[in-house]
Amino acid sequence: MRYLLVIATTFLLSAEGIAHSVDDTAECRRIKEKIRHIQSRMRAGYTRAQGERMEAQLRKLRQQRKSKCR
């Protein structure tokens, strides 16, 4: 009985870990795509105010990428 409980608990915990890693991967892709989009907009030219906003967005996204992605 104890053996079955250990197996069931292990299975549930590993399934939860897999679900989190899939979510992290999707979120990492979303963050990286946003960074690429902003960089593309910056290559097209921008005003000073636009540049400051885009740089702030990039800083925020890079921090998110650093904390959530491996």
Domain ranges of the chain: 2-68
pLDDT the model gives residue 47? 96
pLDDT the model gives residue 15? 55
**CB environment 35-56: b (16+ within 10 A), e (fewer):** beebeeeeeeeeeeeeeeeeee
pLDDT digits (tens, 9 = 90+) for 10-64: 655 555 555 555 567 899 999 999 999 999 999 999 999 999 999 999 999 999 9
**Which pTM value belongs to this model?**
0.65
